[in-house]
Structure 1
Amino acid sequence: MIFIKLNKENNSTYIYQQIYEELKKGILGQKMISNEKLPSKRNLAEQLNVSINSVSNAYEQLLAEGYIYTIERKGYYVENITEFINQQDTVKPNLPSDLKEHASHKEGWLSLSHMTADVSMFPFKEWLKCQNKAVKNHKQELSEIAHPQGPYIVRETIARMIALTRGVMCEPEQIVIGTGTQPLIRQLMDVQRNDTRVAIENPGYFRIYQLLKSMNYDVSPAPLDEKGININKVEEIDPNFLFITPSHQFPTGIIMPISRRIELLNWAALSNDRYIVEDDYDSEFKYGTDNIPSLQSLDRNQRVIYTGTFSKTLLPGFRISYMVLPPNLLRVYKKYYSSWIQGSNSFTLYTLHYFIKSEAYARHIKRMNHHYEMKRKNLIKQLRLRFQDGITIKNIPAGLHFLAEFKTERGYEEIEARAKQEQLEIYTIKRFMLKGVTEYNKLELVIGFASIQNEDINEAVDRLYRIMK
C-alpha cells in the first residue's frame, strides 16, 4: 500500500497533480524501490477516494517524465533512477547574495544620462499604423525565419535612407541588422585572426573596449587631440581595426574635421589589413548646422565599416542597429554566418520599414532635433547661471550629451556617492577613461539631456550643485 496525503480542500492544485507530486517525491527519495509495481489505477483511486481519471493523469505524467514504466497487461512499475549525489532537502537552491538583483525603484529620481531618449515625444500612433501595415503585408514573412542579415526589404530601405542622410555608399546586401552595436561588433571580430591588433579612442566607448578585451584581442587605447583620435598614436600602434566616433566623439563631443578624416583614410589605404570601424551613434542630431557626412562617404578603398543605430532616434528598447560591411568582409561574414538566425524582431523591422518609407521617421527626426536643441539650450543656460565660473561647458552643438568640467575639491567616488543620495543619475568621465583618470581640483561629467523634462531641469541643476559644493 502507498501512503499518500491529499489536501482535497486545496483549490489551487488539482488532485492528479498532488498524486503526481507525492509519487515523484517517494521515487526520488528512494521510498519506492526500482521495479516495484504500483497499485492499479482502480485500486489507488479507491484507496485515495478519488476518480480513476485523477490517478490515470498522474501515472501518465510520471510515465512521460520517465519516473515509471509500464508493461502491457501487467501494470506500472518504478523506473530504475540514478540517485542524486549530495541531494538536498530543497529543490530550490539558495542564490548567493552577490548574485541577487533588486527591482529598481526610480521614483523621485532625475536623470542626466546620455543613454536614454525622450519617450514623451515618440509618435506611437504613427508607429502603430506602420505595425498594422506590417501585419497586413507580411503575414507569410512573419511566420518564417528571416534572412541572417535581416529582411532584404528592410535593408533596402535603410540603405536608401543612409545614402540620403549620411552619404553612405552601399548596397542592401552589405547591411547586417542586429540587436545592438555590441552584438554586431562581436560577430565582426569573431571571424578575425587571433593576432589582430585593435585601437580605440581614449576616452571612449567602454562597453566596446571591454568586449574586445574579453575576446582576447590586443586592444590599445589611443589618446585624443583637438581633432579627435591622435593620428600619430594610431600610426605608432599600427592596428588592424581602428574604432572611432568621428561625427560626435564619444564622450568628448569632438567633430572630426576633414583634414583628420583624410589622414585616417590615407593611413587605412596603405595596407590591405587595416579597417576603420565608424560608430555613427547619434549623428542625426545637429543644432544650427547641417549633418556632417559620414567617414564612409569619403572612403574610396573599402576600408570603412559603418555602424548605425535607431536607439537614439527611436527608443533604446527596440534594439535595432546595423553595420555596413565592405565586400571582402561581407564575403567572410557570409561564409561564417550563413546559418545564423537573425536576432532582431521581424515584426519590429517591417514596422520600421514602413515608418521610414512613409516619411514618419524623417518628420520625427526633424521634430526631435528642434525639441532637443531647445532643451539643450535651457539646460546649459541653467547650469551657467547656477555654477557661474565654477563650470566650463564644451558646447559642441551636436548629439544628445555634452561634456562639462566643474571646479570642485571632491573626487569621483565621492561625487558618485553624493549623486545617489540626491537621486540624480549622472556619469563621470571616469567611466569612459580606458586608461587612467586624473583627479585635481576639477571634475568632468558627461551630461545627457534626452530624458530630462524641461520642467525638471532647474531641480536637476540644483541637485547637481549640492553634489558638487
Structure 2
Amino acid sequence: MIFIKINTNNQKKFIYQQIYTEIRKLILNKKLLTDEKLPSKRKLAEELGVSINSVSNAYEQLLAEGYIYTIERKGYYVEKITKFENPNECSKQMDFPPDLREKHTEDKSAWLSLSHMTADITMFPFKEWMKCEKMAIKNHGKELSEIAHPQGPYLVRQTISRLIARSRGVVCEPEQVIIGPGTQPLIRQLMSMQKQNTKVAMENPGYFRFYQLLENMNFRVTPIPLDEQGINVEKVEALNPNFLFITPSHQFPTGNIMPISRRIEILNWVVNAHDAYIVEDDYDSEFKYGTDNIPSLQSLDRNQRVIYAGTFSKTMLPSFRISYLVLPIKLLREYKRHYSSWIQGSNSLNLFTLHYFIETGEYAKHIKRMNHHYENKRKQLIQKLRFRFKQDITIQDIPAGLHFLAEFQTNKTYKEIEAKAKEEKLEIYSFTRFMLKEIPAYENKIMLILGFATIREEDIREAVERLYRVIY
C-alpha cells in the first residue's frame, strides 16, 4: 500500500497527472525502493477512489520516463534510479542572474521613430502577398513537405538572379545564389570557411553588427577611414586584406554614393591582390530618388572577385527574414563542400510566395509605390528640420536609401542627447554607434542618423519638435 493524496477537485491537473507526480516524488525521495512492486492498477484505483484508466495513464507515463519497469503478468516495479550527486543543490531553485533578466517589451505606442532600421508596414500589399502565398501552397505542396536545398529552392534562386540582373546589373547564375534568414548568418557561413589568419577590412564608420560578428569569430578586423569618395584605397592597398566589406551604392551610415572612378580603383586593387574578395553589401539600393538606380559594383567585376549581398528586409518587411549572397565560382565550390548537408534556414513558404510576388509584377509595383512614398516623407522631414533648426543643422542630402546623416550645433554630449531622447519618447541613433574604433571628439556638435521609413507624415512635425527639445 502506498500513501498519496489526490485532489479530485483540482481543475489544473488531471487525476492521472497527480498520481504520476506523487509516485515519482516517492521514488526520487527513496520512499519507494528499487525493485519494489507497485500496487496493481485495480487495487490503487480502489484505494484512491479513482478510475482504473487514471492509474493506468499514470503508470504508463512513469514507465515511458524510466521511473518504473514492468514484468509481464506480474506487475509494475520501481526502477533503479541514479542518485543526484548534489541533492541539496539540485533541489534548490536557481537564482536567475539579474544581468540576464529580460524586461517586458515597453509599450511604445506614444513613441515616434526616426530609426534607420525599419520599414513602413502600412504600405505593404498584404492582400496581394496572400494571393501569392495561396499560389505557393497550391503549386508547391511537395516541396513544402520536404527539407529545401541548402542554398534555397532553385526556382526562387532563379527568380532572384533574374531580378537582380534587371535591377542591379548583377551577373550570375541561379546556382551562385545562397538564400538565408538574414545577411548576418550568411556572412557567418561565408567567413566560417576562411582560415583564422584571414585579414578583414571594413569601412569606418560602418555596420557595427558585421564588425562585432567578425571580431567574435576571431578575425583580425581593421576599420579603414572614408574620404569624400568612399573607402580610402591607399589604406586598403597598404593593408591588403583578404576580405573587404563595403557599401558602395549607399554608404552606411553616411549615405555617400561611391563614384565610378573609386569603384574602378577598388576593382583594380582586388584583381592585383592575392586571394582577395570584396563583399558588396547592397542593403537598400532599391530606393533612389530623382535618378535611376546606381549599378552594383558586382556588375563591373570581370574577375569573380565581388561577393554580392542583398536583402528583402528594406523593400518588404524585416520579419520575413529573406536575404541572399551571390558567390564567385571559386567560393561557390567551397560553399558546396562545406555546406552540402546544411538545412536551409529561411521559411520555404515565404520563399515560394516571394517567387510569385516577383513573377506577377507585384514586387515591382510595390517598389515603385514605396519609392514615391519614401521620397515624399524624406523631403518633408528635411524641409521641417531645416525650417526648425535653421543654420544649426547640416544635412548630407543624398537622395537615396531610407536614412540620411544630420549634424547639429549643440553644447550637449551624446550621452545627454540619448537620455533626453528617451525622456521625449523619440527613437534616434547617434553617429557614435557606427564608429568601429576611435570615436572623434567634435566640439559643440553631434551627428545623428535619421531614418524616415516608419514615421507617419502627420507625425513628422511633432518628431522634429521632440528632436529640437532633445538637441537643446
What band does the TM-score fall into relative to the shorter chain?
over 0.9
Shift of 1:336: 0.5
**Partner in structure 2 of residue 448 of structure 1:** 451
Normalised TM-score (structure 1) = 0.98
**Partner in structure 2 of residue 216 of structure 1:** 218
The range that moved more, 314-323 or 29-38, is 29-38
Matched residue type, 1:160: R
Aligned 1:21-40 pairs, distance under 5 A = 21-40=21-40
Alignment partner for residue 113 of structure 2, among 111, 114, 117?
111
In the aligned structure 2, how far is the partner of 1:86 from the partner of 1:420?
47
**Partner in structure 2 of residue 434 of structure 1:** 436
**Partner in structure 2 of residue 82 of structure 1:** 82
Gaps of 5+ in 2: none
Matched residue type, 1:374: N
In the aligned structure 2, how far is the partner of 1:166 from the partner of 1:194?
33
**Partner in structure 2 of residue 354 of structure 1:** 356
Matched residue type, 2:71: I
Do residues 263 (structure 1) and 265 (structure 2) align? yes
The range that moved more, 88-97 or 433-442, is 88-97
Say which SS state the counterpart of residue 136 (structure 1) adopts.
helix
Shift of 1:82: 1.3
Shift of 1:39: 1.1
Matched residue type, 2:458: E
**Partner in structure 2 of residue 468 of structure 1:** 471
Shift of 1:192: 0.7
The range that moved more, 28-37 or 393-402, is 28-37
In the aligned structure 1, how far is the partner of 2:240 from the partner of 2:95?
50
Say which SS state the counterpart of residue 243 (structure 1) adopts.
strand
Shift of 1:387: 0.8
In the aligned structure 2, how far is the partner of 1:451 from the partner of 1:30?
61
In the aligned structure 2, how far is the partner of 1:331 from the partner of 1:394?
42
Aligned 1:55-70 pairs, distance under 5 A = 55-70=55-70
In the aligned structure 2, how far is the partner of 1:161 from the partner of 1:110?
34
In the aligned structure 1, how far is the partner of 2:84 from the partner of 2:169?
63
Matched residue type, 2:98: S
Say which SS state the counterpart of residue 220 (structure 1) adopts.
strand
Shift of 1:89: 7.3
RMSD of the alignment, in Å? 1.1
**Partner in structure 1 of residue 337 of structure 2:** 335
Say which SS state the counterpart of residue 407 (structure 2) adopts.
strand
Do residues 458 (structure 1) and 461 (structure 2) align? yes
Q: Percent identity?
A: 70
In the aligned structure 1, how far is the partner of 2:280 from the partner of 2:31?
65
Normalised TM-score (structure 2) = 0.98
Render the CA deviation track for 1:240-299: whole Å, top value 9, x for unaligned.
000000000000001000000000000000134010000000000001110000000000
Say which SS state the counterpart of residue 163 (structure 2) adopts.
helix
Do residues 98 (structure 1) and 99 (structure 2) align? yes
Render the CA deviation track for 1:374-394: whole Å, top value 9, x for unaligned.
000000111111111111111
**Partner in structure 2 of residue 174 of structure 1:** 176
Say which SS state the counterpart of residue 162 (structure 1) adopts.
helix
Shift of 1:76: 1.0
Matched residue type, 1:347: L
The range that moved more, 196-205 or 385-394, is 385-394
Change (3 A) 1:82 1:158: same
In the aligned structure 1, how far is the partner of 2:393 from the partner of 2:419?
20
Aligned length: 469
In the aligned structure 2, how far is the partner of 1:289 from the partner of 1:90?
68
Say which SS state the counterpart of residue 3 (structure 1) adopts.
coil
Shift of 1:194: 1.2
Say which SS state the counterpart of residue 338 (structure 1) adopts.
coil
In the aligned structure 1, how far is the partner of 2:71 from the partner of 2:95?
40
Aligned 1:385-404 pairs, distance under 5 A = 385-404=387-406
Matched residue type, 1:39: P
Change (3 A) 1:63 1:108: same
Render the CA deviation track for 1:311-330: whole Å, top value 9, x for unaligned.
00000000000000000100
Say which SS state the counterpart of residue 80 (structure 2) adopts.
coil
In the aligned structure 2, how far is the partner of 1:27 from the partner of 1:91?
19
In the aligned structure 2, how far is the partner of 1:270 from the partner of 1:183?
29
Say which SS state the counterpart of residue 45 (structure 1) adopts.
helix
Shift of 1:93: 3.4
Alignment partner for residue 246 of structure 1, among 238, 245, 248?
248
**Partner in structure 2 of residue 72 of structure 1:** 72
Alignment partner for residue 286 of structure 1, among 285, 288, 295?
288
2:240–2:273 contact (8 Å) kept in structure 1 = no
In the aligned structure 1, how far is the partner of 2:290 from the partner of 2:40?
84
Render the CA deviation track for 1:128-180: whole Å, top value 9, x for unaligned.
11001001100111001110000000000000000000000000000000001
The range that moved more, 409-418 or 183-192, is 409-418
Say which SS state the counterpart of residue 323 (structure 1) adopts.
strand
**Partner in structure 2 of residue 295 of structure 1:** 297
Matched residue type, 1:427: Y
In the aligned structure 2, how far is the partner of 1:296 from the partner of 1:89?
57
2:84–2:90 contact (8 Å) kept in structure 1 = no
Do residues 411 (structure 1) and 419 (structure 2) align? no
Say which SS state the counterpart of residue 64 (structure 1) adopts.
helix
Matched residue type, 1:418: K
In the aligned structure 1, how far is the partner of 2:130 from the partner of 2:58?
46
Aligned 1:118-157 pairs, distance under 5 A = 118-157=120-159
